[in-house]
Structure 1
Amino acid sequence: MWKRGRHMPPFLLLSSEIYDPLRFSVVSLRKGGTIMEWMLLPLKRYADFSGRSRRKEYWMFVLGVFIAAIVLSIIEGIVGLSGMVGGVYGPLTTLFLLGILVPSIAVQVRRFHDQDKSGWFVLLALIPFLGGLAVLVFMCLEGTRGPNRFGPDPKGGANPEVFA
Structure 2
Amino acid sequence: MEFFFVQCSITSILFIPHVLHTKFGYEFDLKPFEIYQHIIGLYILLTIVPSLAILVRRMHDSGRSGWNLLLFFVPIFGLFYLVVILFYMIDESDDGGNKWGENPKFSL
TM bucket (normalised to shorter chain) is: 0.7 to 0.9
The 5 Å alignment of 1:131-146 reads 131-146=81-96
Q: What RMSD, in angstroms, separates the aligned Cα atoms of the two structures? A: 2.3
Indicate the SS of the match to 1:90. Answer: helix
Name the CA distance, whole Å, in 1 between partners of 2:39 and 2:17.
6
Structure 2 residue runs of 5 or longer lacking an equivalent are none
| TM-score, structure 1 normalization | 0.53
Which one has the bigger helix percentage? 2
Instruction: Please tell me whether residue 69 in structure 1 is matched to residue 25 in structure 2.
Output: no
For structure 1, which runs of at least 5 residues remain unmatched after alignment?
A: 1-55, 159-164
1:1-164 aligned within 5 A: 56-74=1-19, 80-82=31-33, 90-126=37-73, 127-158=77-108
Say if 1:128 and 1:156 are closer, same or farther in 2 by CA, change over 3 A.
Answer: closer
Shift of the 128–147 alpha-carbon distance from structure 1 to 2, 3 Å rule, reads closer
Q: TM-score, normalised by structure 2?
A: 0.78
Determine if contact 1:114/1:153 at 8 Å carries over to the other structure.
yes
